[in-house]
A = this chain, B = another copy of it.
Amino acid sequence: MTTSSRLDPVLARIDDTLPQATERLLALLRIPSISTDPAYRAECDRAADWLVEDLRGIGFEAAKRPTPGHPMVTGHAGGAGPHILFYGHYDVQPVDPLDLWERDPFDPQVEDTPKGRVIRGRGASDDKGQLMTFVEACRAWKAVHGTLPARISLFFEGEEESGSPSLVPFMRENAEELRADVALICDTGLFGDSTPAIVTMLRGLLGEEITITGPSKDLHSGMYGGIAMNPIRVLARIIAALHDDQGRVTIPGFYDGVPELPADVAAQWQGLNFDAQGFLGEVGLGQPAGETDRSPLEMIWSRPTCEVNGITGGYTGAGFKTVLPAKASAKISFRLVGQQDPLKIRESFRKMVRDMLPPDCEVSFADHSASAASQMETSHPAFEAARIALSDEWPNPAAYVGCGGSIPIAGHFKTLLGMDAMLIGFGKDDDQIHSPNEKYDLESFHKGIRSWARVLDALSR
């Protein structure tokens, strides 16, 4: 690690002012900005106002930007150097079941725990705490140097937890304002507890709901059992046929566009020493249940999947009813990778289902999401610069990792604005986001702020 007359005083300032930064985060966490519940509409607005005021205090030209839903917040500052866009979201998940919280989710506090100090409250990790790591880095830089090291735009959303209905229209309408040299997104986590991570691949998501209908009404199995088509049996056969004995998806063409992992990435992932046993053991499982010839990290990061997320049909209450149901349905989703085409897979899936239908059965389909996978261009020099900067801050060198989930904003930056995005975050696996007792380690917050200062320094040299 080298010393830097430009960076070192910023890091020192961050260390010195951590109590004040924490107080600011606590203030933001007190605003119950639950985006999915209309009862909290005014609170979302209040969170946006709080951010606008805070950003103005740092010197950003900040504004609350109306949408048909909750407002966006934008801020612009600096001028020289590259143009960096930072994204985060200020809305939070609902808090129910409230009785499982050990404190009021909107009365946040710093708590001492056996594993260190944590900031406890709804949104501490997802995403107010992460969002504020970047804001605090900017504040410290500005305080030390009187100016920012780059042209920086901030872009905060208030609908991330409720499907982002206004996001794409807003990005289209304000494309010129938002387009930058590179985008930074802080909504992900560390790899393990001390390895910073840059997400370079995100899986896409295709959701399909299928409903099989047979008889025109529910039948009595005494009268019709043995002669009538049973839609549950038909649905079960279809679901059972979606995978072969090796765990591969059997839909024709499903693997078109699925790349083999490049040797260098495979080697790097190998070096992460992923603890699959621990990962599965946390949720009561003992062994990987995916494709038999793939490594655990491939299964969750770089291989496509087909999963059944829900199924229902017939009588599901207490006791027993000997009904032959008129219909049965299932929600099935696919995680997509590489160049897999969601719409082609939808068509192929539907054809396969139709081809398996016996006489007297019909099927209807309902569309849900259909987004392709994202693969970042790690050859962009910002990636390697950020990776080295993060490695300077944390005990372990930073890793390029995959992410099994889908973070649509990353794809939107690419497709709508032509920008590569770097997903860097400091959450930990036990942060309990979306669950009761959400927390953000004070270490995540502190080293997160320091990390962004280092990344800003690296990207603006």
Contact = CB atoms under 8 A, between A and B. Distances in A.
A368 B315 CA distance: 14
A24 B235 CA distance: 50
A287 B360 contact: yes
Nearest to A358: B289
Count the copies: 2
Contacts of A335: 221-222, 225-226
Contact of A236 (B239, B285, B291, B321): B239
Interface in A273-319: 276, 279-280, 283-291, 296, 299-300, 303-305, 307-316, 319
A310 B233 CA distance: 10
Nearest to A321: B309
A280 B405 contact: no
Contact of A221 (B309, B320, B323): B309
Interface string A241-263: 11100000000000000000000
A405 B403 CA distance: 53
Contacts of A179: none
B289 A227 contact: yes
B321 A405 contact: no
A237 interface: yes
A244 to B, nearest CB: 12
Given A225-B307, A289-B360, A310-B314, A283 B216 contact: yes
A399 to B, nearest CB: 17
B215 A287 contact: no
Interface stretch (A11-19, A105-113, A122-130, A201-209): A201-209
A88 to B, nearest CB: 19
Contact of A314 (B227, B235, B291, B331): B331
A32 interface: no
Q: Which of A286, A290, A322 has the most CB of B within 10 A?
A: A322
A71 interface: no
Interface string A51-73: 00000000000000000000000
A100 interface: no
A415 B341 CA distance: 64
A364 B27 CA distance: 48
Given A283-B217, A309-B315, A313-B310, A289 B230 contact: yes
Given A223-B300, A227-B299, 20 more contacts: A205-B322, A216-B283, A223-B405, A224-B283, A225-B307, A225-B333, A226-B291, A228-B285, A232-B239, A232-B330, A236-B236, A236-B240, A286-B359, A308-B313, A308-B314, A309-B322, A309-B324, A314-B331, A315-B331, A316-B331
A217 B432 CA distance: 13
A219 interface: yes
Nearest to A202: B222
Given A224-B283, A225-B335, A360-B285, A230 B307 contact: yes
A331 B320 contact: yes
